[in-house]
């Protein structure tokens, strides 16, 4: 299963927009939660959460989740031990830590957007989840466009994402979120609701709602034109496709120096390998070979990941050694 998820992430890396959803965990104040590290029957221990924000790509975050269905694995720095907390407590009314899948635009909003949507009210910091807003008041404020980004915020919940794949079970809202000059969250500044209701808080809608379909298309950038009710993309008439005889199958060429241009994809392969078999590196980027013996016991995962990597690179990797264990490799021992 993990090999299939990793392959999906590798394939998606080449097709999704750079501003696609990420998992964001944030809190403005220190928080003390209770959870388990290995979750093998040991009692829960204290997990300290420092003020600030942690983020992971959605596919990577899915791989890190606890196998226990009733727990949520916190986003932690590499220096901190793992901590999986009970989902019911984590998503309760009083939980101080927020978890959301957020698609964040890469450029500031336009004056036209602020004027069209009447952006004039704010709340301190990044927003709290809807169930935790009792007592919070929106206050009149003037937005600082340069320090704000459009955010499509889809909230975590006990019976929605991250317990299941991000989809229609998740409730979403439009916000303007404050960021620093480097694009990181600025939890000390104000957020502004977009597409507000009569009470000035944002309208809730389901992930994938047809009205905002472009925002849920991983191949499309998050463009404010969809909030303005405009489509800035030029509509091209369909072009006739000439009938052609199917081309004979051709063997994929061996990898050479051209693969170096896809180093982020190679880095992801190394990351998945570390999660599945440990820190040993089986991919030789100079000779363009894979040491299959390093994947012994995980041969099926190697087959899936290697096929996904070759699809992204557009060339074939050579194999050294033989993977021993479940799954079939395409080449025998050399």
Quote the DSSP letter at residue 262. Answer: G
Rounded CA-CA distance 209/247 in Å is: 40
Q: Say what the pTM is.
A: 0.67
- Strands 31-36, 84-86: pairing is antiparallel
Among 25, 94, 90, smallest CA distance to 61 is for 25
pLDDT at 327: 42
**Which distant-in-sequence residues (6+ apart) come within 8 Å of 75 by Cβ?**
23, 25, 54, 55, 56, 61
**What kind and span of H or E run contains 102?**
strand 98-104
Inter-residue contact 292 to 327 (CB < 8 Å): no
Q: Which residue has the tokens 């008041």?
A: 137
Rounded CA-CA distance 297/318 in Å is: 20
The per-residue pLDDT for range 221-238, each reduced to its tens digit, is: 998 998 987 543 333 334
**What kind and span of H or E run contains 270?**
helix 263-277
Backbone angles phi, psi at 272, to 5 degrees: -65, -40
**Which distant-in-sequence residues (6+ apart) come within 8 Å of 198 by Cβ?**
none
pLDDT at 293: 81
Rounded CA-CA distance 7/25 in Å is: 25
Inter-residue contact 150 to 110 (CB < 8 Å): no
Rounded CA-CA distance 221/88 in Å is: 34
What is the full per-residue pLDDT of the chain (334 aa) written as tens digits? 445 445 555 545 445 678 899 999 999 999 999 999 888 888 999 999 999 999 999 989 988 888 788 999 999 988 888 999 999 999 999 999 999 999 999 999 999 999 999 999 999 999 999 999 999 999 999 999 999 999 999 999 999 999 999 999 999 999 999 999 999 999 999 999 999 888 899 999 999 999 999 999 998 999 899 898 754 333 333 444 444 444 444 456 788 765 445 666 777 777 777 777 777 688 888 778 888 888 787 787 787 777 777 766 778 888 888 887 644 444 443 4
Rounded CA-CA distance 306/63 in Å is: 18
The per-residue pLDDT for range 242-252, each reduced to its tens digit, is: 444 444 444 56
pLDDT at 133: 96
Helix (H, G, I), strand (E, B) or coil at 74: coil
Count CB-CB contacts under 10 A for residue 315: 17
């Amino acid at each position: 299963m993990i090999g299939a998820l990793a392959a999906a992430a590798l394939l998606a890396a080449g097709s999704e927009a750079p501003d696609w959803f990420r998992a964001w965990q944030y809190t403005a104040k220190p928080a003390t939660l209770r959870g388990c590290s290995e979750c093998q029957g040991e009692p829960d221990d204290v997990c300290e959460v420092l003020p600030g924000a942690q983020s992971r790509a959605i596919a990577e975050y899915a791989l890190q989740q606890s196998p226990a269905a009733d727990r949520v694995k916190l986003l932690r720095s590499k220096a901190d031990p793992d901590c999986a907390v009970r989902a019911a407590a984590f998503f309760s009314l009083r939980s101080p830590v927020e978890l959301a899948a957020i698609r964040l635009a890469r450029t500031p909003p336009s004056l036209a957007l602020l004027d069209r949507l009447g952006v004039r009210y704010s709340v301190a910091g990044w927003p709290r989840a809807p169930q935790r807003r009792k007592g919070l008041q929106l206050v009149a404020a003037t937005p600082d466009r340069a320090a704000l980004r459009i955010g499509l915020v889809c909230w975590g919940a006990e019976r929605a994402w991250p317990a299941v794949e991000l989809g229609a079970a998740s409730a979403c809202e439009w916000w303007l979120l404050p960021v620093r000059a480097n694009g990181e969250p600025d939890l000390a500044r104000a957020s502004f609701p977009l597409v507000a209701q009569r009470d000035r808080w944002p309208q809730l809608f389901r992930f994938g709602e047809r009205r905002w379909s472009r925002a849920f298309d991983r191949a499309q950038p998050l463009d404010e034109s969809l909030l303005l009710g405009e489509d800035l993309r030029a509509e091209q008439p369909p072009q006739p496709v000439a009938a052609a005889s199917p081309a004979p199958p051709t063997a994929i060429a061996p990898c050479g120096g051209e693969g170096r241009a896809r180093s982020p994809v190679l880095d992801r392969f190394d990351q998945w390998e570390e999660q599945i078999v440990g820190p040993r590196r089986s991919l030789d980027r100079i000779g363009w070979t894979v040491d299959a013996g390093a994947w012994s016991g995980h041969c099926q995962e190697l087959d899936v990941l290697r096929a996904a990597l070759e699809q992204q690179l557009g060339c074939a990797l050579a194999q050294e050694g033989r993977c021993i264990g479940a799954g079939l490799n395409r080449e025998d021992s050399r």
